[in-house]
Amino acid sequence: MRYSGLSMSNPAERLPSVVCECGATIVSDEFVPSSRGGAPNASGFDSCLRRCQVCGIGFSNCKNPSEIITILRDAFDGLPAYVAEGCDRALVECLNQSHVRKKQADFQSLSSEDHVSWTVMRFLQHERLLGQVFRHSDIEPVLLIWGVPVPNSNSEGWALRQKIITVCDHLKEQPRFHSEPDVLLDFGEAGIVLVEAKLWSPNEFKEQSYGGWVKYLKHAAFRDSDSARAIGYYQLVRNWRIGCELAGERPITLVNLGLGFTRDEARKLACLRLSLRTSFRRLFVVRRWSSLLRGVTVPTWLSEYSRRRTLALAE
């Protein structure tokens, strides 16, 4: 007897069954364990060994129930059509080309930070609320997500993207590893806003010995470069340096956006603020996701989206 074309010397296995949101029990497809043991990693709905075809939900190929990630066949299932517009191009043409495939695969997951960033910003843009939310109530900004204009047809957005690339090249970043602000809003003479968005993952940390620090720190954008390096929040430091270069004489605000911050995180972020050369025109602020939707009428679909992903997007 043979399984999947292999002999009984290497028999096929199944993952434990799971229960879908609809209540159906989902039985695993058979798989042949890898040389390291266990099932192959799922890189999207189709590669999940446990899939509910009715709901369009897959379950990652983890054996431990606490580690299973829910993966959608359609990442925009149940959302207004406008939310998805332009996303495919943004995922493919993001500035940091080194992780395009992973970004695309992760985007299908209910735990995708990128999906939440995209969805909330598209909602705010559609409702013409970006200016209000980011304290320029009389201006609707040019919006870039991962360095790609939204909508894709925005010529001002493509010009802004090229300016980011020019700054990154000036800093001698490798072309496939250009810095990629999660969200960039250009309010013209009123300035720019960069958003580093986090949900479940922490701010990127690098040891002081990491070689990449030298590209960004020796500059007037910092009051105390050594302290910024010691704190270790590398991604925020990169964004601050690039934002200051991009803004020139215009105002700049760097926003670290999160569901919440521990006491230790808040302390480190406060120390980081002191290490940056901030002023009334150059700001580093920490905000919760819920603050973006304060005073905003949240539609039913967005409330359901928040519930399904176990977020607290609205207060």
Q: Do 56 and 72 form a contact (C-beta atoms < 8 A)?
A: yes
What's the confidence (pLDDT) of residue 314?
Answer: 64
What's the confidence (pLDDT) of residue 313?
Answer: 74
Flag whether 7 is in a domain. no
With both helix axes pointing from N to C terminus, report the angle between 113-126 and 300-308 in degrees, rounded to the nearest 10.
170
Same domain, 215 and 273: yes
Mean per-residue pLDDT of the chain:
93
SS (H, E, C) 239-289: HHHHHHHHHCCCCEEEEEEECCCCHHHHHHHHHHHHHECCECCEEEEEEEH
On the question of pLDDT at 8 being above 50, the answer is no
DSSP, res 95: S
Taking the C-alpha atoms of residue 182 and residue 220, their distance in angstroms, rounded to an integer, is: 24
Flag whether 177 is in a domain. yes
Flag whether 59 is in a domain. yes
For residues 14-37, average pLDDT:
91
Same domain, 190 and 294: yes
* 3 state SS of 301: helix
Same domain, 165 and 197: yes
On the question of pLDDT at 36 being above 90, the answer is no
Taking the C-alpha atoms of residue 150 and residue 124, their distance in angstroms, rounded to an integer, is: 12
Taking the C-alpha atoms of residue 249 and residue 256, their distance in angstroms, rounded to an integer, is: 22
Flag whether 3 is in a domain. no
On the question of pLDDT at 2 being above 70, the answer is no
Q: How far is CA 306 from CA 41, 110, 301, in A?
A: 27, 10, 9
Same domain, 135 and 31: no
Same domain, 40 and 97: no
Same domain, 105 and 203: yes
Q: Write the pLDDT tens digit of every residue in 92-112.
A: 999 999 989 989 989 999 989
For residues 278-282, average pLDDT:
97
Q: Write the pLDDT tens digit of every residue in 176-207.
A: 999 999 999 999 999 999 999 999 899 999 99
The terminus-to-terminus CA distance of the chain in angstroms comes to 59
54 confidence band (pLDDT: 50, 70, 90): very high
Taking the C-alpha atoms of residue 203 and residue 287, their distance in angstroms, rounded to an integer, is: 14
Number of structural domains found in the chain: 2
Same domain, 53 and 120: no
Other residues' Cβ atoms within 10 Å of the Cβ of residue 173: 20
For residues 57-84, average pLDDT:
94
**To which residue do tokens 């999906």 refer?**
115
Q: Do 149 and 141 form a contact (C-beta atoms < 8 A)?
A: no
What's the confidence (pLDDT) of residue 310?
Answer: 84
* 3 state SS of 208: coil
Pick the last residue of a domain from 50, 72, 94.
Answer: 72
On the question of pLDDT at 67 being above 50, the answer is yes
Comparing CA positions, the residue from 142, 85, 156, 77 lying closest to residue 110 is 77
Taking the C-alpha atoms of residue 289 and residue 137, their distance in angstroms, rounded to an integer, is: 19
Same domain, 52 and 90: no
- Window from 26-40, 86-100, 140-154, 219-233 with minimum mean pLDDT: 26-40
Same domain, 58 and 86: no
Q: Which domain holds residue 18?
A: 13-72
Pick the last residue of a domain from 25, 40, 72.
Answer: 72
More confident residue, 173 or 4: 173
What's the confidence (pLDDT) of residue 162?
Answer: 98
150 confidence band (pLDDT: 50, 70, 90): very high
Pick the last residue of a domain from 29, 51, 72.
Answer: 72
Same domain, 86 and 173: yes
Taking the C-alpha atoms of residue 192 and residue 251, their distance in angstroms, rounded to an integer, is: 6
